[in-house]
Amino acid sequence: MDEITIPTVEVSGVPDPLPTGLVVVDVREDDEWAAGHIEGALHIPLGQLAVRADEVPADGQVLVYCHAGGRSARAVGFLQQRGVDAVNLAGGVIAWHQAGRRLI
């Protein structure tokens, strides 16, 4: 079985402000989303991604994040298999917040 390499980017590698057209997907649960998320993110909890994958555009890059990076890595693997140019945010929302990036 081929191992899939999960493309990953550090928070420092994500432009601030986010580029126009960049799709950001939050795969955390509802309570985590409500506690704070990246502005403009599309909320699709990991458990719903298989049935809601068509909501993720396949044209252009997609930045995926969760709390610490584990769930989003699984989501990126799934999306990559569907032909989506998805990238995992290393460290998730924890790293985003620690870098002083805004959550709403």
Verify whether residue 93 is a known catalytic residue: no
Q: Which of 29, 7, 18 is nearest to 80 (CA)?
A: 7
CA distance 89 to 37: 13
Cross-strand partners of 24: 63
Lay out the sheet containing 61-65: strands in order across.
Answer: 8-9, 85-89, 61-65, 23-26, 42-43
Catalytic residue among 56, 66, 75, 86: 66
Active site amino acids? 66
